[in-house]
Amino acid sequence: MRAPHRRDQRQWMDVRRLSKDFLQPWEPTWPEDGAEKTAFRRRLRRFRQDWEDGTSYPFFIFHRETDDLVGGITLSNLRRGVTQAGTIGYWMGLPYVRRGHMAEAVDLILEFAFEDLGLHRVEAACLVHNEPSSKLLLKLGFSEEGLARQYLRIDGRWQDHRTFGILRSDRKAKS
């Protein structure tokens, strides 16, 4: 797992195009050029600025043996002060689903959030019918906390999401 880089452009475009129909029901609607070079470069600029501002930390996930780009994970919406929290979101390319890559990536981002950034809490949400994602979060120690009605505009419409959270102390208890 590492921060996105310009050299990742070809792999990102390939995996996003290959996975377009698979990912569409789970993501916000992308612009027409969403998987093109110009869109990748726009994303990179935003990623760099967010990283510098300390508001968001996007990572690409690579296969350990082949170095293929398999997906992405972002720790975003960082809130400091009395909250000390952030939110994770993630995606996985179609050829790589249910092979353990995302479980490892979520585990790593939690370590980054709690140990490197000193956060107290990490949150996640998934569509109410996204059983693989909810099972993953529960397996990794998140607690289901509720239902957020019409929480995010996914696939062109406002949709309900199950909400999850994990505390730094939950991770320490697990160790």
Amino acid identity at 152? L
The pTM of this model reads: 0.92
Strand, coil or helix: 82: coil
Give residue 55's pLDDT.
94
Based on its alpha-carbon atoms, the radius of gyration of the chain, rounded to whole angstroms, reads 16
pLDDT along the chain (175 residues), means of 10: 94 92 89 79 92 95 94 97 97 94 97 97 97 96 97 94 96 70
Give residue 30's pLDDT.
78
Q: What are the residues facing 143 on neighbouring strands?
A: 165
- Write down the CATH superfamily of domain 6-174: Gcn5-related N-acetyltransferase (GNAT) (3.40.630.30)
Enter the DSSP assignment of 114: I
Q: What are the residues facing 154 on neighbouring strands?
A: 157
Please state the φ and ψ torsions of residue 128, each to the nearest 5 degrees.
-60, -25
**Two structure tokens written together for 10:** 């070809």
Give residue 175's pLDDT.
60
